[in-house]
Amino acid sequence: MQIDVVTIFPEYLAPLRAALLGKAIDKGLISVGVHDLRDWTQDVHKAVDDSPYGGGPGMVMKADIWGPALDDVCTDETRLIVPTPAGRPFSQEVAHEYANESHLVFACGRYEGIDQRVVDDAARRVRVDEVSIGDYVLVGGEVAVLAIVEAVARLLPGVLGNPKSHAEDSFQDGLLEGPSYTRPEVWRELAVPDVLRSGNHKLINRWRRDQSLARTFERRPDLLESLPAEAFDKHDRAL
Ligand X SMILES: Nc1ncccc1[N+](=O)[O-]
Binding status of residue 98 toward ligand X by CB under 6 A = no
Shortest distance, position 165 Cβ to ligand X, whole Å? 26
Close Cβ partners of 97 (under 8 Å, ≥ 6 residues apart): none
144 or 213: CB nearest ligand X: 144
Query: Pairing state of beta strands 60-61 and 49-50?
Result: antiparallel
Of 3, 34, 49, 83, the residue at the interface with ligand X (CB under 6 A) is 83
121 is annotated as an active-site residue: no
What is the distance of C-alpha 32 from the center of its chain? 16
3-state secondary structure (DSSP) of residue 104: strand
Residue type, 11: E
Are 119 and 171 in contact by the 8 Å Cβ rule? The answer is no
What are the beta bridge partners of residue 103?
2, 78
Binding status of residue 25 toward ligand X by CB under 6 A = no
Separation of alpha carbons 133 and 112, rounded Å: 17
Q: Check 38, 154, 206, 215 and give the catalytic one.
A: 154
Q: Which of residues 116-155 bind ligand X (CB under 6 A)?
A: 132-134, 136-138, 140-141, 144
Q: Check 112, 168, 173, 177 and give the catalytic one.
A: 112
Binding status of residue 5 toward ligand X by CB under 6 A = no
Shortest distance, position 90 Cβ to ligand X, whole Å? 7
Separation of alpha carbons 234 and 239, rounded Å: 9
112 is annotated as an active-site residue: yes
117 is annotated as an active-site residue: no
Measured between alpha carbons, how far apart are the two ends of the chain, in Å? 43
Shortest distance, position 130 Cβ to ligand X, whole Å? 9
169 is annotated as an active-site residue: yes
Show which residues are catalytic.
85, 112, 154, 169
Q: Which residues bind ligand X (CB under 6 A)?
A: 83-85, 87, 132-134, 136-138, 140-141, 144
